[in-house]
Amino acid sequence: MGSWALVVPREEVDRLDGTHVFAAPHPRLAAHVLSYTAQDFRQYERRTWRIAPLGVITLAIDFETPIRRLESGMVLPFSSVAGLRDRPMVIEESPGHSRGISIGLTPLGAFSLLGLPLKEIANTNVGLTELLGVRGRVLTEELAETRGWAARFRLLDERFTEWLSDGHALDAPVFGAWRHLENTGGRVRIDRLADQIGWTRQHLNLRFREQIGLSLKTAGRVARLRHAAVLMTGGLSLAEIAAVAGYADQAHLNRDFRALTGCTPTEYRRKW
């Protein structure tokens, strides 16, 4: 299940009546597209999903889906894009058949594909056709008409290769800052990062927030959370995880986990 299992509770997925298929995009897309997850399942009761914010923009292509609502009461659009988040996303899903593909995008991939500042979709969900227009509608139809998940994944590789080849690009310093945060698990001082890039701290943070959707400090917290979440799949204690991931102590880990995911590290570890 890979990193996808860090975002949606494994114990919830295991209870579903259906199948999930996971695939990696073609290596040429590695900087832009992280994962493909196909789902075809039926649920017979209302279910609540809690989705952790781990630095991924999610593009959901629905072939069939029950009604899904956020805590605010907003009904999610049929096929949608979820921007980067600094809080958990809680979705209530009605009984019904869910069939489609979820695609994990990096900020570089999302910025290139969507052609807009990612601050416009941060902490929110926007309809796929609202962002991609005819391309989004045609892609959904093509995927629905293609037989077999493997063939659908190949079609996605082809379309993304075509679309991303002439897409928009993040400012090089912004992309460099994001990659540095990811590579270090958020363990970096923003003033030093700005000095390395050659921009003032204020200018870097402004451009970063506009193009990525989160502030540098928040993006660093999410990167550190993701590092800690990966470590939780192993045998380290929470105190050891806190030290390795760069938290001041286990209490700091507990506070950040609860603030960003809505649950404690112990609860997260048990469910995921």
User: What would the mean pLDDT of 78-84 be, rounded to a whole number?
Assistant: 95
Which residues are registered as beta bridge partners of 18?
41
Query: Above 70 in pLDDT, residue 7?
Result: no
Find out whether 15 and 25 touch, Cβ atoms under 8 Å: no
Q: Are residues 190 and 101 in the same domain?
A: no
The CATH number of residue 221's host domain is 1.10.10.60
User: Are 96 and 46 in contact, with CB atoms under 8 Å apart?
Assistant: no
Average pLDDT over residues 221-232: 92
Does 11 score more than 70 pLDDT?
no
SS (H, E, C) 161-194: HHHHCCCCCCCHHHHHHHHHHHHHCCCCCHHHHH
Mean pLDDT, to the nearest integer, of 216-221? 95
Residue 20's pLDDT is what? 85
Give the CATH number for residue 151: 2.60.120
| Contact assessment for residue 70 and residue 91, using Cβ atoms and an 8 Å cutoff | yes
Average pLDDT, rounded, for the chain: 91
User: Rounded distance, CA 107 to CA 214, Å?
Assistant: 11
Residues spanned by the domain of 137: 2-164
Q: Are residues 8 and 91 in the same domain?
A: yes
Asked whether the predicted pLDDT for residue 18 surpasses 80, the reply is: no
* Contact criterion met (CB below 8 Å) for 127 and 80: yes
For the chain, the domain total comes to: 2
Same domain, 106 and 41: yes
Co-location of 204 and 111 in the same domain: no
**Spacing of C-alpha 160 from chain mean position:** 17
The helix or strand, by DSSP H or E, that contains position 101, with its residue range, turns out to be strand 96-105
pTM > 0.85 = yes
Mean pLDDT of all residues in 58-65: 95
Shared domain for 86 and 201, answered yes or no, is no
Max Cα–Cα distance, the chain, nearest Å: 56
Same domain, 126 and 221: no
Are 147 and 260 part of one and the same domain? no
| Helices 107-114/149-164 angle, 10° precision | 70
CA dist 201 and 195 (Å) reads 8
Give 88-135 pLDDT, tens digit per residue.
Answer: 999 999 999 999 999 999 999 999 999 999 999 999 999 999 999 999
pLDDT of residue 252 exceeding 70, the answer is yes
